[in-house]
Amino acid sequence: MQRRELFSFLSSQLKPKVEQESYLRPPYFNDIHAFDTECQKCDGRCATLCQEQIIVINSDKTPSLNLSKGGCTYCDACALACGFGVLNVKDKKVMNADVSINETTCLSWSGVMCFSCKDPCLEDAISFKAMFMPSIDTNICTACGFCISRCPTLAIDIKVN
């Protein structure tokens, strides 16, 4: 091995590994790999029929949810629109994500009275200690995302599992 090859090899090992982006998918799938194979054939009908307009079609032609402007009502429209079997009403489930409140940026955790996240919560999964310190009950939360867009400080995080 020549010196140039050695340094090239060593520098390539120092570069951070780029992980494949993890998308929040509509909650109607059985096989996560079907997004990569079947959605390539589709014109994105699920996105056009989404009542909340939160489904976006990514550059790889797969649908994902953008919860920055609204949440999922689990209305079934995207699953009914899917002609390739990727999304199916019989596979309906709670979204595969964890929702949490960032206590350092949350207004209520800073002593300001704010119920912006609690009011739109369809499942009443957000509770407050006294009038401050909100927390999300992960046993009730469906990760619908309505609280995310309503938070004035963007203190609600969602992490795809």
Q: What is the pLDDT along the chain (161 residues), one digit of tens a residue?
A: 565 565 555 555 554 443 445 899 999 999 999 999 999 999 999 999 999 999 999 999 999 999 998 999 999 999 999 999 999 999 999 998 999 999 999 999 999 999 999 999 999 999 999 889 999 999 999 999 999 999 999 999 999 98
- pLDDT number for residue 21: 57
- pLDDT number for residue 5: 60
Note whether 77 and 51 are within 8 A (CB). Answer: yes
Domain boundaries, the chain: 34-91, 97-160
d(CA 40, CA 92): 22
CATH node for 97-160: 3.30.70.20
- Adjacent-strand bridge partners of 159: 98
Is the C-alpha dihedral spanning 78, 84, 88, 93 positive or negative?
A: negative
CATH node for 34-91: 3.30.70.20
- pLDDT number for residue 101: 97
> How does strand 55-57 pair with strand 63-65?
antiparallel
Q: Global pTM?
A: 0.80
- pLDDT number for residue 22: 84
What one-letter code names the amino acid at 67? L
- pLDDT number for residue 92: 96
- pLDDT number for residue 17: 42
Domain 97-160 in the same topology as domain 34-91: yes
- pLDDT number for residue 3: 58
Note whether 145 and 97 are within 8 A (CB). Answer: no
